[in-house]
């Protein structure tokens, strides 16, 4: 993927951002947009102009994610975009409230559609609807043993990520989008889920917690590393199992997970983990993205009541 190009006009206090001609929603795209947000905040710009060429080709999730970021920038700066980018995004991406959430009733229709919604949530109102819809899709569109237990596990795990966007961000508002995509490389159907908030970062929360307990501050990457350890929580009382449980589940089903928060990120992709400080990018909030397979014909999900975990087993071993 070609990088985003930037042009600074000091006389107009304007930052012009030219998006590449090809964008695919993946880790590199998420990292690239974190850098974009960092530069927008770094320059003393009053105007931010986004543009793309007529030949630009962006997948649905990339357009939805960009739209969300552009609206966020517009809330703080004078933001504008050229007609080409505006038409490419606004014709296919729609911003809706939580009350207008649309679950997937027809999977084939969803995959063929050129349109995608992202949803604005205020507080915890309406969280159960998308959580239950995602859980239903994962259970019904995969082979599952003891589906009710798996539904309960997934609803708790996914629901915790939604709840974190409220309880840890110190913001009432957060955003959610999802899509199902056929991956030509893996020849599998993948469900993508993304949750964004523009509030306190993981590092801000963890270091605030450390200071209140007279402990030294940590780097952003060390804060993420601490936050994904089971039992570690900045909340009073019990907690600290949302992200660790999600990570465990994603590993078990051979999925991928990307977390960008402040100037650090967590990456779980193709079974490999990394946590790093993002030296040239800062996401002012937290963005959590995971992708898992649907219609998996090789494996089955089963629930271990003793360990209270979901496992993925080969159908050949059943």
pLDDT digits (tens, 9 = 90+) for 183-196: 888 788 999 999 99
* Residue 270 φ/ψ, nearest 5 degrees: 55, 35
So what's the pLDDT on residue 236? 60
So what's the pLDDT on residue 122? 92
CA-to-CA separations, 100 to 94, 120, 130, 169, 197, in angstroms, rounded: 11, 10, 11, 23, 19
So what's the pLDDT on residue 15? 96
- Residues 229-267 pLDDT 10s: 988 888 665 454 688 999 999 999 999 999 999 999 999
β-sheet bridge partners, residue 293: 190
Query: ∠ at Cα 101 (96, 104), nearest 5°?
Result: 125
So what's the pLDDT on residue 131? 96
Using CA atoms of 146, 150, 153, 155 in order, give the dihedral in degrees to the nearest 10.
-130
Residues 6 or more apart whose Cβ sits within 8 Å of residue 99: 126
Under-50 pLDDT residues of the chain: 238, 240
Which two three-digit tokens encode residue 224? 């993420």
So what's the pLDDT on residue 51? 97
Packing angle between helix 128-140 and helix 147-167, nearest 10 degrees? 150
Residues 6 or more apart whose Cβ sits within 8 Å of residue 131: 155, 158, 159, 162
So what's the pLDDT on residue 114? 92
Q: What domains sit in the chain, N to C, each tagged with a CATH number? A: 1-91 (3.30.750), 99-317 (3.30.565.10)
Using CA atoms of 171, 173, 174, 175 in order, give the dihedral in degrees to the nearest 10.
-160
Sign for the pseudo-dihedral over CA of 127, 130, 136, 141: negative
So what's the pLDDT on residue 240? 47
């Amino acid at each position: 993927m070609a990088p985003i190009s930037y042009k600074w006009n000091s006389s107009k206090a304007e930052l012009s951002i030219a998006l590449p001609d090809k964008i695919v929603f993946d880790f590199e795209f998420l990292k690239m947009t974190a850098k974009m947000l960092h530069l927008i905040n770094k320059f003393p710009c009053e105007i931010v102009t986004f543009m793309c060429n007529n030949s630009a080709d962006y997948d649905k999730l990339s357009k939805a994610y960009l739209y969300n970021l552009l609206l966020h920038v517009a809330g703080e700066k004078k933001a504008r975009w050229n007609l080409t980018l505006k038409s490419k995004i606004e014709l296919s991406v729609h911003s809706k409230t939580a009350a207008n959430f649309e679950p997937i009733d027809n999977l084939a229709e969803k995959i063929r559609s050129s349109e995608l919604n992202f949803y604005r949530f205020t507080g915890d109102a309406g969280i159960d609807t998308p959580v239950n819809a995602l859980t239903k899709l994962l259970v019904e569109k995969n082979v599952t043993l003891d589906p009710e237990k798996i539904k309960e596990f997934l609803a708790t795990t996914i629901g915790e990520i939604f709840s974190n966007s409220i309880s840890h961000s110190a913001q009432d508002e957060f955003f959610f989008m999802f899509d199902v995509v056929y991956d030509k490389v893996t020849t599998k159907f993948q469900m993508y889920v993304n949750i964004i908030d523009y509030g306190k970062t993981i590092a801000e929360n963890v270091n605030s917690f450390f200071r209140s307990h007279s402990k030294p501050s940590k780097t952003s990457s060390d804060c993420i590393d601490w936050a994904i350890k089971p039992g570690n929580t900045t909340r009073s009382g019990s907690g600290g199992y949302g992200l660790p449980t999600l990570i465990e589940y994603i590993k078990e089903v051979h999925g991928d997970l990307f977390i960008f928060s402040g100037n650090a990120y967590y990456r779980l992709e193709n079974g490999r983990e990394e946590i790093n400080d993002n030296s040239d990018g800062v996401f002012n909030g937290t963005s959590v993205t995971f992708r898992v397979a649907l219609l998996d014909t090789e494996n089955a999900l089963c629930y271990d009541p003793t360990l209270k975990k979901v496992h993925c087993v080969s159908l050949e071993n059943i």
